[in-house]
């Protein structure tokens, strides 16, 4: 009974984190009117929520810790580049954007209520009382990650390595095309 209740709350908390991640993705709908610092803050908040979700889903916290350090390091480098490129632009929020954002959030909440009520999204029929201890251990071993580089996460690690390599190559090509570094030089 208690395990069933805890798992139900775990799934509800994961659903809430998914909603928060979706709302964070709705924020930068007008890329041209945003300050780069605001976009870096949004990326930082998204990373924190993603790390929380990974901590809930996995037994191993090293993967989420490494992801957090990697993303925060990347955000710090982006902030350094963008503050050297942008010349003291004003940082203000547009009232029209705030109205659009709350309208999008309202539509998302209505769609989530529809999914919960009509489609029966929170219909959990997992009965852990009838399971034996050995069956519970097998169940939790199948759905939780024990090591960082297991076979099930090898594709994710290879994707992350290839993604970082492509970003490194693109940033070098941008610098070589202009024959200058990305930051402005004082003449």
Interatomic CA distance for residues 79 and 186, integer angstroms: 19
Looking at per-residue confidence, does 127 or 98 come out higher?
98
Would the pLDDT of 117 be above 70?
no
DSSP string, the chain: -HHHHHHHHHHHHHHHHHHHHHHHHHS-S-GGGS-HHHHHHHHHHHHHHHHHHHHHH-S--HHHHHHHHHHHHHHHHHHHHHHHHS-S------HHHHHHHHHHHHHHHHHHHHHHHTS-TT------TTS-HHHHHHHHHHHS--STT-GGGHHHHHHHHHHHHHHHHHHHHHHHHHTS-SSPPP-
Say what the pLDDT of residue 102 is. 77
Residue 170: count of CB within 10 angstroms of its CB? 10
Looking at per-residue confidence, does 57 or 185 come out higher?
57
Say what the pLDDT of residue 29 is. 58
Looking at per-residue confidence, does 69 or 16 come out higher?
69
pLDDT tens digits for range 81-99: 777 766 666 666 667 777 7
Statement: the pTM of the whole predicted model exceeds 0.85:
no
- pLDDT tier at 48 (50, 70, 90 boundaries)? confident
Ranked by mean pLDDT, which of 17-21, 25-29, 43-47, 152-156 comes out on top? 43-47
Give the least confident one: 41-45, 49-53, 70-74, 162-166: 41-45
Looking at per-residue confidence, does 135 or 59 come out higher?
59
As a whole number, the mean pLDDT across the chain is: 69
Say what the pLDDT of residue 128 is. 47
Say what the pLDDT of residue 21 is. 79
Interatomic CA distance for residues 71 and 50, integer angstroms: 11
Residue 64: count of CB within 10 angstroms of its CB? 19
Query: Which residue carries 């994707």 as its tokens?
Result: 159
Ranked by mean pLDDT, which of 12-16, 51-55, 76-80, 177-181 comes out on top? 51-55
Average pLDDT over residues 144-172: 71
> What are 8-17's contacts with CB under 8 Å, separation 24+?
8/122, 8/124, 10/56, 11/122, 11/124, 12/122, 13/56, 14/53, 14/56, 14/57, 15/121, 15/122, 17/49, 17/52, 17/53, 17/56
Average pLDDT over residues 133-150: 53
């Amino acid at each position: 009974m208690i395990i069933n209740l805890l798992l139900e709350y775990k799934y509800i908390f994961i659903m809430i984190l998914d909603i928060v991640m979706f709302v964070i993705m709705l924020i930068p709908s007008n890329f041209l009117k945003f300050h780069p610092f605001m976009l870096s803050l949004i990326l930082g908040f998204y990373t924190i929520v993603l790390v929380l979700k990974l901590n809930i889903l996995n037994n191993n916290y090293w993967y989420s810790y490494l992801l957090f350090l990697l993303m925060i390091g990347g955000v710090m480098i982006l902030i350094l580049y963008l503050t050297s490129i942008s010349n003291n632009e004003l940082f203000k929020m547009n009232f029209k954007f705030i109205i659009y954002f709350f309208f999008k959030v309202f539509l998302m909440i209505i769609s989530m209520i529809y999914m919960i009520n009509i489609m029966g999204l929170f219909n959990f029929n997992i009965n852990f009382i009838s399971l034996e201890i050995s069956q519970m251990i097998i169940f939790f071993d199948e759905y939780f990650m024990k090591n960082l580089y297991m076979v099930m996460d090898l594709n994710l690690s290879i994707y992350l390595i290839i993604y970082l390599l492509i970003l490194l190559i693109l940033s070098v090509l941008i610098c070589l095309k202009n024959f200058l570094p990305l930051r402005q030089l004082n003449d």
